[in-house]
Amino acid sequence: MTVECILAIDAGTTGVTALLVDHGGLVQSRGYCEIGQLYPRAGWVEHDAEEIWQAVLKAAGDALSAVPGLQPIALGVANQRETTLFWDRRTGEPMHNAIVWQCRRSASICEELRASGLEPDVRSKTGLRFDPYFSGTKALWLTREDAALRAKVAAGEVCFGTIDSWIAWKLSGGQLHVTDVTNASRTLCYDIHRLRWDDDLLELFGLGGSVMPEVLPSSHAYGETVETGPLPAGLTIGGLAGDQQAALFGQGCFEAGLTKATYGTGCFILMHTGSEAVASARGLLTTLAATIRPGERKYALEGSIFVAGAAVQWLRDNLGLISGAAEGEAIANTVEDSSGVVFVPAFVGLGSPHWAPDLRGAIYGLTGATTRAHIVRAAIESIVFQAQDVLDVMASEAPVPIRELRVDGGAAANDHLMQVQADLSSAPVIRPDSVEATGLGAAYLAGLAIGFWRDEQELAALRSGGRSFQPGDASHGRRVYDRWQAAVRGLIATELVPR
């Protein structure tokens, strides 16, 4: 007996996950393949694009072979959003290593652009700010550094894209050069109000319309796969979305006021604001949410935190204080609090709402009595405190209150952290049974494109189970959080930057 499923590809920063999702929204099979991180210089982060593609095939092959009888009929892709790539339009060969969203190499370009006085106009069109995080500044750095690439861009001989575009190109055998509105909205080149590439912004970032992908809804029958390794020919490529908007969709946040937080390598908080694009005056981003119909306008407020779970990984890999996240949580729980230690993991600067890309991390409050457990606990708590920085601004600027915070990602499994988040935010924190929200979002978008599911209402009915953390006494958490805020203010005031 065969069971029809949707194949979801979640191409993240450290690896690719493949899920097979049935009509009930249950994950029936899973595959995973890690991808390597390349650090050619301090602050630079790259990926081998071909390795990403091979990881897609490996993860998908493992998911397809793990459970007999599962029959994929469409696939969706969620991706690390701002990671940037040019490839040869004729041969399909990447022109360089992909520049990862975390990479800060274009910081000087951002300073130059900011000095030009153009940022207010760019923000009004894109909802973004000049920051190395976004694709446009990475593209400009690449074309400035490589004259041959610059000439190919001018001649239209290359394709520009984020990782969704690259994967769709490979899945279709080079027939599709497409993206969706959510990924387009992260490039600094897309007008989120008129829903089109902006010619002035393309010129500003050294791009041209001939190299840009076609922008389509997040749920759309883009085309079909060719036979590639474990993937059969003829699967409808039905969903593309940036990973955070895919998670928003996978969490069932279809209406204004519904908010999700993904605690992964970074932490990304999105609040659906419906058809209203809310401009932030205090450091949040305005971005497009996933859409299922042409011309549809759905928006979100976003807070982007660059280092969350990566702080725990740093304790493991760089300091050797823990063997992994599980041991970190256990050690942190051996002390009642961090004993005044505050950990600010600004390894690549601070994102929302501070936007201080040149800052570097610091640990405050060390005494002779400080132990490993205190430092580990402070590092783990920094995830929630950074999130609260965003949630406080979101609550003050959004047109509707935060109805509830739906969470996913690795740190969402930590009950203590989720309770502290609920206490500080004064909003219920809802953790579903499945924390694969990003993959589920990609699957749901693809399934809608072929009628596997009818609409958002049917998808909302698939949500069940999980755990709710209700707001309680925030007095202790607020005191610790106040110390966090004071430390961040001090770090910014002293302008602690690399020498």
Average pLDDT of the residues in 328-335: 90
Query: Does a structural domain hold residue 165?
Result: yes
Query: Does a structural domain hold residue 371?
Result: yes
Do 90 and 225 lie in one domain? The reply is yes
497 neighbors 466 (Cβ within 8 angstroms): no
Do 203 and 316 lie in one domain? The reply is no
- What's the pTM value of the predicted model, to 2 decimals? 0.90
Rounded to the nearest 5 degrees, what angle is found at the Cα of 392, between the Cα atoms of 474 and 127? 160
Do 103 and 204 lie in one domain? The reply is yes
pLDDT in tens, 98-143: 999 989 899 999 999 999 999 999 999 999 999 998 999 999 999 9
Strand partners, 440: none
Q: What is the pLDDT of residue 95?
A: 96
Model confidence at 495, pLDDT cuts 50, 70, 90, reads: low
Do β-strands 190-191 and 178-180 pair in parallel, antiparallel, or remain unpaired? unpaired
Q: What is the pLDDT of residue 306?
A: 87
Do 92 and 163 lie in one domain? The reply is yes
Model confidence at 363, pLDDT cuts 50, 70, 90, reads: very high
Average pLDDT of the residues in 417-429: 91
Q: Does residue 406 surpass a pLDDT of 90?
A: yes
> Integer distance in angstroms from the first to the last C-alpha of the chain?
64
- Domain total of the chain: 2
Model confidence at 498, pLDDT cuts 50, 70, 90, reads: very low
Do 143 and 16 lie in one domain? The reply is yes
pLDDT in tens, 215-262: 999 999 999 999 998 999 999 999 999 999 999 999 999 989 899 999
Model confidence at 194, pLDDT cuts 50, 70, 90, reads: very high
Pick the more confident residue, 434 or 134. 134
Do 241 and 317 lie in one domain? The reply is no
How far is residue 15's CA from residue 437's CA, in Å, rounded to a whole number?
Answer: 16
pLDDT in tens, 49-108: 999 999 999 999 999 999 989 999 999 999 999 999 999 999 999 999 999 998 989 999
Average pLDDT of the residues in 437-446: 96
Do 311 and 168 lie in one domain? The reply is no
Query: Does a structural domain hold residue 499?
Result: no
Q: What is the pLDDT of residue 351?
A: 87
Query: Does a structural domain hold residue 296?
Result: no
Average pLDDT of the residues in 439-454: 97
Residue-wise over 272-311: b if at least 16 C-beta within 10 A, else e?
bbbeebbebeebbbbbbbbbbeeebbbbbbbbbbbbbbbb
Query: Does a structural domain hold residue 438?
Result: no
Average pLDDT of the residues in 26-38: 94
- Residue 55 maps to which CATH number? 3.30.420.40
pLDDT in tens, 468-492: 999 988 787 788 899 999 989 888 8
Of 291, 250, 220, 183, residue with least CA distance to 19: 250
Q: Does residue 148 surpass a pLDDT of 80?
A: yes
Question: Which of 213, 236, 251 marks a domain boundary?
Answer: 251
Average pLDDT of the residues in 260-285: 91
Query: Does a structural domain hold residue 443?
Result: no
Query: Does a structural domain hold residue 448?
Result: no
Average pLDDT of the residues in 22-39: 94
Which residue range forms the structural domain that includes residue 336? Answer: 305-431+467-494
The mean pLDDT value of the chain amounts to 92
Q: What is the pLDDT of residue 400?
A: 85
Pick the more confident residue, 460 or 498. 460
Tell me the two tokens of residue 59: 């993860």
Query: Does a structural domain hold residue 437?
Result: no
Q: Does residue 416 surpass a pLDDT of 80?
A: yes
The residue whose two tokens read 């910081």 is 107
Residue 206's φ and ψ, nearest 5 degrees, are 70, 25
